[in-house]
Chains A and B, each alone.
Chain A
Amino acid sequence: MNQLAEEIRVGTLTLDGEPVDFREGETIYEVSERCRREVPTLCYDPRLEAFGACRLCVVEVEGIRNPVASCTTKATEGMVVRTRTKTLEKHRKTLLELVASENRDTKVDELSGYASQEMNDLLVRYDARTGRFGGKRSGTSNSKDKNPFILRDYDNCISCYRCVRVCAEQEGDHAINIMNRGFDTQIITEFNNDLRDSSCTFCGQCVQTCPTGALTDKKAIRAKDTPGEIKKTRSVCTYCGVGCSVDILTKGDRVVGIHPAMDGPANEGALCIKGQFAFDFVHHPDRLSKPLIKQEDGTFKEAEWDEALQKAADGFLKVREKYGNHAVYGVASGRAPHEAAYTMQKFIRAGFGTNYIDNCSRA
């Protein structure tokens, strides 16, 4: 971790007493992260331009009188950096207590969003009190926005602007922005309308980067009271050819939400409205759960697998006998996985000796 290959190393600094190499353009925070220093942050998201607002990531640099924000300070040759001194830790605790003093509920359900635990985890880590600086509060909950995906509870907003920045820098939609300053700061859409009437595409990135649960995934939070641990399963979204990596959130046998995979090679943390929010079809009551056989009156009856499979096979055998191998055709799915398409083409080629097989790419 501390040493880099010669071709990417541009210099060496001293980090908590150890010599550490750094790359071109690397910040002190990035060097510290690489060396697992666990410098706390609230306004930081590795995908976004460093913002330097929360001041939790401050470090001491020899020769500089006041602590500096490590996320916005570039590493330079010979720099001597301390990331965890008594003074720094006390300073961070006080900052956290200032931030938390406004927040009514620092404990939010994990289903709120990918980063929703960041604030509370830091409060626990620093044993920070929430009531130390009582008094005036900022942020107003926008409960009037009836959109079914994103809860906008700005009572929990700490003005880190990760939502505004991810919308602009990552998604490129610029749907939300900042109005007013200080205690009057609000996160709003153009003309302060509902998200539906803005350029918001409901991609969910703002929800997933929010460190306090001020923005909450309304669909996932439906399962807040469902018993059971949240389990994550890495998979790939099936809504288009981009192939975004996702973590499927489950409780027991139910899919309760979707998280974008921050390390997904195709999406690097991004999703769209379909991938993020359109998962209810999985447990929809319309799902087929038994084979169906059409009866003479044209209606379907539920059947056992053996009977249905035999009926399916008999139909192909009968057609082959009457009309030959070129009377049977297979259409594979462009949505089912490889194993479906592979067996379908083999079904036709190995079963009938023809190449009478296609998929849905022509329409």
Chain B
Amino acid sequence: MSNPLRDMEHPDLIFCIGTNMTECHPVAATRLKKAIANGAKMIVADPREIQLAKMADLHLPIRVGSDVALLLAMAHVIAREGLIDQDFIDARTSGVGEFLEHLKEFTPEWASEICEVPAADLEKAGILYGQGTPSAIYYTLGITEHISGVDNVQSLCNLALMTGNLGLEGGGINPMRGQNNIQGAGDCGAVPANFPGFQPCDDPASARKFSKAYGIEIEAQKGITKVTALNQAASAEGGIHAMIIDGENTVISDPDMKHCEHALKSLDHLVVIDLFLTETAQLADVVFPATAFAETDGVQTNTERRVQRLRAAVPPPGEAKPDWWIISQIAQRIGTPGFEFESAKDVFNELCSLSPIYAGLDWDRIENSEYSWPVPDKDHPGTPRLHEKEFKNGRGLFKVIGYRDPAEVIDDEFPVWLTTGRRLESYHTRTQTGRSAGIDYLLSEESLEIHPADAEAWDMADGEIIRMSSRRGEIQIKIRTTDRSPQGTVFTSFSFASVPVNILTGSGYDPVTETAELKVCAVKLEKF
């Protein structure tokens, strides 16, 4: 997030797109509710009538995967109505000329055809966002899990740049990070493009820095993503032959389950570290038992870049060990130096010594959760709000972006849109929530949400078990009729291993990030 969580109580206009915040980030959503109670207006763009949509002044039930068209039309309206912030644009951005010229043809009427939302509502959305003082954007995986994920994010940046909604209390562009330490995993350099602290792998100076620190020549080029690695593992030519996976139930959470399973089974060697013998761990050659929440001393970074301490309260079961200890032991046994860590504190302090954004931090300084990175030195108070005076890379760049259809669109054979997501009571593949008493009382099984008119047209009854298939496979699922789903679009979560919806997904990947288009898939529904 560009802005701190506390800023969520202060926007004048809230624009939520592709975020089911009351279910996925419920505590953050309470702040938006307070802002609304204090008079803030809210636009919600989401195909489904989620809880946020019911609270909104304007709900845009856009067709899945049509975000870029919506955002182009909003930008068009903002430019046409003179709602741009010329002082901000002049002082802090570049590329506005080409961008404004590009926008001219993308009218609300044009977007209305693609988004399947009335042009008047798109018009209203542009005006509301453009008039907000300030306007804040919140998004989650509904923006990024598309083949146009990067385009979607950059389109949001264009909106914020043209209206000067960056660096302000209650404004900004705010991705709500999903998993508890997904931000931290990136901070720590567990990505193929960056060393710790987002130092680029293809920058020779950074590669030299880490080669020196680690005592081995590290290649000065990006690695491959997990998506490519799994593709290589599954292919006949091979490429990837061994993997180590820590705390991820890849088989259930990743797209195109059959492909994923095949890839992992094709490996010569698979090591998994986890709390449970998950569907993924069952495919491993060696499985190590890890310590869990309440058993582990460590650090995690939240969605507002706040670096916080986890503390152990109870001993782990049996011989379970912290992940860092297990990985360090394997590293030592393959002869890698530099893994003589004796505590989580040792590991974290090494990270801080190599990461410019953590340079002012160490284990003792984060005791009270006071710092949001970047914290470049020990005298720095941290950075709760980014871009206040300047952008890290100089000027904010407008990007010229066009609309593209999703990787898969509905046709005669697969005539229904499927979109997937999460529910309040489940966390990911339920390895944790599914093993906690009481959760089943509220949510004991997965179901497919279908609009009642669709169910009637397709001769299906609430509670009926049907067959749902895509180009990649089929599953059986119970249907639940609800007008939360728009006609022609169905929804389910991927949390239940008994209803493995990711057998169906995986139609395409963003060309830049290789993030799967988990939010769009064409399916057909059949009665048994």
Chain A residues within CB distance 8 Å of chain B: 146-149, 169-172, 196, 201-203, 218-219, 231, 233-245, 248, 250, 253-255, 264-267, 270-275, 277-284, 286-294, 300, 305, 308-313, 315-320, 322-323, 326-351, 353-363
B425 touches A274 (CB 8 A): yes
B 179-195 to A, binary, CB cutoff 8 A, 1 in contact else 0? 11111111111111101
Q: Is residue B239 within 8 Å, beta carbon to beta carbon, of the partner chain?
A: yes
Q: Is residue B95 within 8 Å, beta carbon to beta carbon, of the partner chain?
A: no
Measured between alpha carbons, how far is A237 from B311 in the docked complex, in Å? 11
B289 touches A289 (CB 8 A): yes
- Known A235-B311, A242-B303, A339-B344; contact A332-B246, beta-carbon cutoff 8 A: yes
| Interface segment, one of B10-18, B131-139, B429-437, B452-460 | B429-437
Measured between alpha carbons, how far is A218 from B437 in the docked complex, in Å? 11
B302 touches A241 (CB 8 A): yes
Q: Is residue B331 within 8 Å, beta carbon to beta carbon, of the partner chain?
A: yes
Q: Which residues of B contact A171 (CB under 8 A)?
A: 30, 33
Q: What are the 8 tightest A-B residue pairs by CB atom distance, in nearest-first order?
A: A289-B318, A243-B302, A337-B298, A333-B247, A172-B33, A355-B223, A241-B177, A148-B438
Q: Which residues of B contact A358 (CB under 8 A)?
A: 190-192, 223, 225-226, 229
B 313-356 to A, binary, CB cutoff 8 A, 1 in contact else 0? 11111111111101111110110111101001001101100000
Q: Which residues of A contact B292 (CB under 8 A)?
A: 281-282, 287
* Contacting residue for B331 out of A148, A300, A343, CB 8 A: A343
Measured between alpha carbons, how far is A272 from B196 in the docked complex, in Å? 32
What number of B residues sit within 8 Å (CB to CB) of A?
148
- Known A148-B441, A316-B269; contact A266-B277, beta-carbon cutoff 8 A: no
Q: How far is the CB of B398 from chain A (nearest CB, A)?
A: 26
Measured between alpha carbons, how far is A255 from B311 in the docked complex, in Å? 13
Chain B residues within CB distance 8 Å of chain A: 5, 22, 24-30, 33-34, 37, 176-193, 195-196, 201, 210, 214-219, 221-227, 229, 233, 238-248, 250, 253-255, 268-269, 271, 273-277, 281, 284-290, 292-296, 298-304, 306, 308-324, 326-331, 333-334, 336-339, 341, 344, 347-348, 350-351, 369-370, 424-425, 427, 431-433, 435-439, 441-442, 513-516, 518
* Number of A-B contacts defined by CB within 8 Å: 484
Measured between alpha carbons, how far is A357 from B189 in the docked complex, in Å? 9
Q: Which residues of A contact B224 (CB under 8 A)?
A: 329, 356
B285 touches A335 (CB 8 A): no
A274 touches B183 (CB 8 A): no
B188 touches A243 (CB 8 A): no
Extra A-B contacts (12), CB below 8 Å, given A233-B311, A280-B437, A329-B233: A219-B437, A236-B302, A241-B182, A265-B370, A272-B424, A309-B333, A315-B269, A330-B190, A351-B336, A359-B190, A360-B185, A362-B514
Measured between alpha carbons, how far is A288 from B245 in the docked complex, in Å? 16
* Contacting residue for B269 out of A146, A318, A353, CB 8 A: A318
Closest to A298 in B: B282
Measured between alpha carbons, how far is A278 from B180 in the docked complex, in Å? 15
Closest to B351 in A: A342
A338 touches B299 (CB 8 A): yes
Q: Which residues of A contact B427 (CB under 8 A)?
A: 239-240, 274, 278
A238 touches B300 (CB 8 A): yes
A331 touches B245 (CB 8 A): yes
B28 touches A362 (CB 8 A): no
What are 10 A-B contacts with C-beta separation under 8 Å?
A235-B310, A280-B435, A289-B316, A317-B334, A329-B242, A335-B180, A337-B310, A347-B339, A355-B201, A361-B182
A363 touches B247 (CB 8 A): no
Measured between alpha carbons, how far is A277 from B176 in the docked complex, in Å? 22
Q: How far is the CB of B208 from chain A (nearest CB, A)?
A: 13
B214 touches A349 (CB 8 A): yes
Measured between alpha carbons, how far is A282 from B247 in the docked complex, in Å? 14
Measured between alpha carbons, how far is A294 from B315 in the docked complex, in Å? 27
Q: Which residues of A contact B33 (CB under 8 A)?
A: 171-172
A355 touches B248 (CB 8 A): no
Q: Which residues of A contact B344 (CB under 8 A)?
A: 337, 339
- Known A241-B303, A289-B319; contact A328-B311, beta-carbon cutoff 8 A: no
- Known A236-B308, A340-B298; contact A281-B216, beta-carbon cutoff 8 A: no
Measured between alpha carbons, how far is A359 from B514 in the docked complex, in Å? 13
Q: Which residues of A contact B210 (CB under 8 A)?
A: 349
A346 touches B338 (CB 8 A): yes
Measured between alpha carbons, how far is A218 from B514 in the docked complex, in Å? 44
Q: Which residues of A contact B196 (CB under 8 A)?
A: 342, 345
Measured between alpha carbons, how far is A320 from B298 in the docked complex, in Å? 31
Q: How far is the CB of B180 from chain A (nearest CB, A)?
A: 4
B185 touches A334 (CB 8 A): yes
* Contacting residue for A313 out of B216, B239, B334, CB 8 A: B334
B317 touches A241 (CB 8 A): no
* Contacting residue for B313 out of A148, A233, A310, A323, CB 8 A: A233
Measured between alpha carbons, how far is A257 from B347 in the docked complex, in Å? 30
Measured between alpha carbons, how far is A241 from B303 in the docked complex, in Å? 5
